[in-house]
A = this chain, B = another copy of it.
Amino acid sequence: MTPVISVFAASPDGGCGLARDMAVRWALLEAGVAHDLRPLSFAELKTADHKARQPFGQIPTLETDGLTLFESGAIVLHVAEQHGLLPREPALRGRAVAWMFAAVATVEPVIVEREVAVLLEGDRPWTPERLPLIEARLRQRLDDLASALGEAEWLVGDFGAADIMMVCALRRPAAARLLPDYPVLAAYVARAEARPAFVQAFADQLARWQAGAG
């Protein structure tokens, strides 16, 4: 059975590849696995049918081999375990899984905090004063991430699932706008975006958006 990814029927990002299905598409293409899409409208995301797949009514989900997975981190971990996108050596594998959790639980929330401030509280009088506070918290994370990466090409040994999750977090606009101040991280994201599987995943979602499907 061809794996099926649930995606936004009309992505709100204008073809920038910022929705969370991007990590899943990218991982599957790195693994050379063809996949189908299940486009869902915002109304369909909130139905009982979709919440049986994804309890919070979000994308992405992955249906494959009798499994119905949710959370991009969990899906990419599953794909990685099946298709060699994690180091084989246990100590390195453990670090890679730790970096996957760090991407979604330690780095991305501060990025999303800025997006929430702009998108959901942008018209509030306090937002201009809050943005520098949020940015300072985000810079702490980026400082530590840049130090940890150092001269390395990827987070743990060869390219893998940890890099997919971390790069997808760093590509979000609230982080991407700071990358010029972090040449190590800017180069890391650029290396990742040059990978054929990323290029293909990006082109796939852009083509859908340009075709008017979102």
Contact = CB atoms under 8 A, between A and B. Distances in A.
Contacts of A2: none
A120 B137 CA distance: 11
A3 to B, nearest CB: 12
Contacts of A40: none
Interface in A101-117: 101-102, 104-106, 108-109, 112-113, 116
Contacts of A95: 68-69
Given A91-B66, A125-B126, A55 B109 contact: no
B133 A121 contact: yes
A71 B98 contact: yes
Interface residues of A, number: 49
Contact of A98 (B69, B97, B100, B126): B69
A125 B68 CA distance: 45
A116 B113 CA distance: 11
**Assembly stoichiometry (copies):** 2
A56 B106 CA distance: 9
A147 interface: yes
A161 B47 CA distance: 28
A67 B91 contact: yes
A130 B91 CA distance: 43
Given A104-B104, A113-B113, A98 B70 contact: yes
A142 to B, nearest CB: 11
Given A66-B90, A90-B66, A106 B71 contact: yes
Contacts of A112: 109
A17 interface: no
Interface in A52-111: 55-58, 65-75, 77-78, 90-91, 94-95, 97-98, 100-102, 104-106, 108-109
